[in-house]
């Protein structure tokens, strides 16, 4: 009698359980498209992030190659400039050396003449070193 007095019998519990199950199924059915849309949007976002990462990696690789090529170009340019300066310096040194040799030859001639005037012909026959012949 207790169950008849409260108004809940075995049939009522079955109906409540069925109603609850139906409500849950309707809720899940109503939210399923939104969940699917959220999954698709999340997948799209992951794809976009991956694409941007790939683009950034390719951009960095390209800039690295360009920077490497620029370094090589600058190195070759510097090497050419240094080589040119080295050649110019060698030419300047050669000109200065030639000038010194000419001045030395003039000094040696003056010494020979001075010795010849002081000692006569005997000392004029004494050879003085010639750097061009010795070098």
Does any domain span residue 107?
Answer: yes
Does any domain span residue 2?
Answer: no
Does any domain span residue 58?
Answer: yes
* Residues in the chain, pLDDT under 70: 1-10, 120-135
What pLDDT score does 4 carry?
A: 45
Structural domain that includes position 80: 13-134
Does any domain span residue 7?
Answer: no
Q: What is the DSSP letter of 126?
A: S
Q: What is the DSSP letter of 24?
A: H
Residue 127 in contact with residue 100, Cβ under 8 Å? Answer: no
Q: Is the pTM of this model over 0.85?
A: no
The number of folded domains in the chain is 1
What pLDDT score does 37 carry?
A: 86
* Residue 40 CB burial class (10 angstroms; 0-12, 13-18, ≥19): exposed
Dihedral angle over CA of 39, 44, 48, 54, nearest 10? 90
């Amino acid at each position: 009698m207790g169950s008849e007095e409260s108004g809940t019998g075995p049939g009522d519990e079955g109906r409540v359980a069925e109603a609850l199950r139906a409500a849950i199924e309707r809720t899940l059915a109503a939210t399923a498209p939104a969940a699917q849309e959220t999954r698709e949007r999340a997948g799209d976002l992951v794809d976009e992030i991956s694409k941007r990462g790939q683009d950034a990696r390719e951009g960095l690789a390209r800039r690295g190659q360009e920077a490497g090529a620029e370094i090589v170009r600058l190195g070759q340019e510097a090497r050419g400039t240094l080589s040119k300066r080295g050649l110019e310096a060698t030419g300047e040194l050669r000109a200065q050396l030639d000038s010194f040799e000419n001045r030395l030859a003039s000094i040696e001639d003056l010494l020979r003449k001075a010795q010849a005037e002081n000692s006569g012909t005997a000392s004029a026959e004494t050879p003085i070193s010639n750097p061009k012949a010795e070098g």
